[in-house]
Amino acid sequence: MMATLAVTLAGAQTASNDSVQEKTLLSRLSIGGYAEIAYSRNYYSDHVSRYSQPEAHKDDPSHGRFDVPHAVIALGYDFGRGWSMGMEIEFEHGGNGIAYEKEDEEGGEWEQETEKGGEVELEQMWLQKSFARWANIRAGHFVVPVGLNNAHHEPLNFFTVYRPEGENTIMPSTWHQTGVSFWGRYKDFRYEFQFLAGLNADQFTNTGWIRKGHKSPLEFDVANKYGVALRVDNYSVPGLRIGLSGYYGHSIGNSYPNDANGAGATYKGKVLIGALDFTYRGHNWLVRGQADYGYLSDAEQLKYIYNRLNSKSPFKHSAFVSGNAYAVGIEAGYDVFSQIRSLRHKQQLYVFGRYEAYNPYASATKGTDYDYTAVKRMALGLNYLPIRQIVIKAEYSKRFLKSLYNNEPSINIGVAYEGFFELGHHQLAQREQVDVERLNERINDLQRQLNELKETKQQ
């Protein structure tokens, strides 16, 4: 009898302890993510010589494609005493590890593309110590917030079906690297300084500038050279966020094996980027814009670096790279449902327009031009949000190229979601990044409701 009672009490105590531990675990764990599904019908040629022989492909048939550009699973955990961790695993384009691609810059050759980890990437994995709201230190793998796209790359942060094309062309997207970061908030400012491994100039191209520079086909990221990134955001004006960001680092010689006495010892390949961006949310309008300018020193030397000449190297590139690149863009959307009382504050329907201009090859290197890289693009469409975490997108877009080439219209349709699913009372991601924009939007909504009540009372 006593033995039975002892077992019962012990079992009850064990169950109680397990329950407390489980509750503590769940209250500190956060799970979330985002994903995009897209369909495109492109009314222009997909032939590799569509730019070198534009007249021959002027009447080529259209082509369509389905895609899953990004699917991300995010995890966060608060260990307590200021210690926390974050992790994001990203599946790009369905998550295939190896893919064949036609390389336009290699004369249309079929090449087997292998990115680090295939196209399943560890986008973030960091450990953080928070001393105060204004002082946090993070070490590991994280997003480099240079430009609007990288700092706000989730699908609810842009109207177009695909990420803003200009920044997505000239810079990595999403740009993520390993290093150390110091960040915090003070009054109306949020700031972040990062120390990172340098970019790899062997990966720079004429049509993408430094876009592939953060990727590595090796089992590790080379860190012979280093870079720094800085971002500052201001929220002083209700509904408005203004951000300044930049990057500086050396890129030539940041490859494997380290050619200490070769080009890396003679040339630096300095990468300098400056970016200005903003988001305004108010009076039923949502407006975003950005301007980015980049400079690369010793660009004329990249074509002759050994790794780019070696046909067996994963870094082989035959084209010149530009010393300059730029991307500017602006988009504006108006919430039509804000004018329908029964739908206001419940659903949103944005009618939007976007215009951008960009060129990853903005300056001719050694007199060699690639005129088709200069693009102006416009898009018109709709964003329907049945609830705040889900959006259905549709757009008509058109790229305008120089008169020698054929313009490139397309129709794009997409569905996306974005959410952080809290399991307890502590939501790590929301504590780290307070959504000031949506808070300001709610304040504006409440002010409008107050004005409507005043008008009704006066009547």
pLDDT value at 311 more than 70: yes
399 near 377, Cβ under 8 Å? yes
Query: How distant, in Å, are the alpha carbons of 42, 104, 395 from that of 349?
Result: 25, 39, 13
Task: Categorize the per-residue pLDDT at 263 as very low, low, confident or very high, splitting at 50, 70 and 90.
Answer: confident
pLDDT value at 14 more than 50: no
pLDDT at 444: 66
pLDDT at 21: 47
Q: What is the mean pLDDT of the chain?
A: 86
Strands 135-143, 270-282: parallel, antiparallel or unpaired by DSSP? Answer: unpaired
pLDDT value at 13 more than 50: no
Domains plus CATH for the chain?
2-458 (2.40.160.10)
Average pLDDT over residues 386-399: 97
pTM surpassing 0.75?
A: yes
Kindly report, residue by residue over 361-378, the tens digit of the pLDDT: 999 999 999 999 999 999
Min mean pLDDT across 115-124, 208-217, 264-273 is at 115-124
pLDDT value at 195 more than 70: yes
Task: Categorize the per-residue pLDDT at 313 as very low, low, confident or very high, splitting at 50, 70 and 90.
Answer: confident
pLDDT at 420: 76
CA dihedral over 315, 318, 324, 326, signed as positive or negative: negative
pLDDT at 330: 98
Q: How far is CA 20 from the centre of its chain?
A: 39
Kindly write down the DSSP assignment for every residue of 37-94, as one continuous string: EEEEEE-S---TTTTTSGGGGTTPPPEEEEE--EEEEEEEEEEETTEEEEEEEEEEGG
> pLDDT over 90 for what percent of the chain?
69
Kindly report, residue by residue over 18-33, the tens digit of the pLDDT: 444 444 556 788 899 9
pLDDT at 16: 39
pLDDT at 8: 35
pLDDT at 422: 57
pLDDT at 305: 86
pLDDT at 1: 41
Phi, psi values for residue 115, rounded to 5°: -95, 165
Task: Categorize the per-residue pLDDT at 94 as very low, low, confident or very high, splitting at 50, 70 and 90.
Answer: confident
Task: Categorize the per-residue pLDDT at 274 as very low, low, confident or very high, splitting at 50, 70 and 90.
Answer: very high
Average pLDDT over residues 383-398: 97
Nearest alpha-carbon partner for 305 in 203, 199, 172:
203
pLDDT value at 106 more than 80: no
pLDDT at 115: 52
pLDDT value at 118 more than 50: no
Min mean pLDDT across 104-108, 123-127, 288-292, 442-446 is at 104-108
Helix (H), strand (E), coil (C) string for 366-426: CCECCHHHCEEEEEEEEEEEEECCEEEEEEEEEEECCCCCCCEEEEEEEEEEEEEEECCCC
List the structure tokens of 308: 């780019």
Task: Categorize the per-residue pLDDT at 322 as very low, low, confident or very high, splitting at 50, 70 and 90.
Answer: very high
pLDDT value at 222 more than 80: yes
User: How many angstroms separate the CA atoms of 455 and 186, rounded?
Assistant: 38
Residue type, 103: E
Kindly report, residue by residue over 65-81, the tens digit of the pLDDT: 999 999 999 999 999 99
Task: Categorize the per-residue pLDDT at 439 as very low, low, confident or very high, splitting at 50, 70 and 90.
Answer: low
List the structure tokens of 316: 């082989």
pLDDT value at 107 more than 70: no
pLDDT value at 427 more than 70: no
Average pLDDT over residues 149-175: 96
Kindly report, residue by residue over 341-361, the tens digit of the pLDDT: 999 989 999 999 999 999 999
Average pLDDT over residues 274-283: 97
pLDDT value at 441 more than 80: no
Kindly write down the DSSP assignment for every residue of 172-184, as one continuous string: -TT-EEEEEEEEE
Query: How distant, in Å, are the alpha carbons of 36, 106, 267, 365 from that of 308?
Result: 34, 12, 15, 16
Phi, psi values for residue 81, rounded to 5°: 55, 30
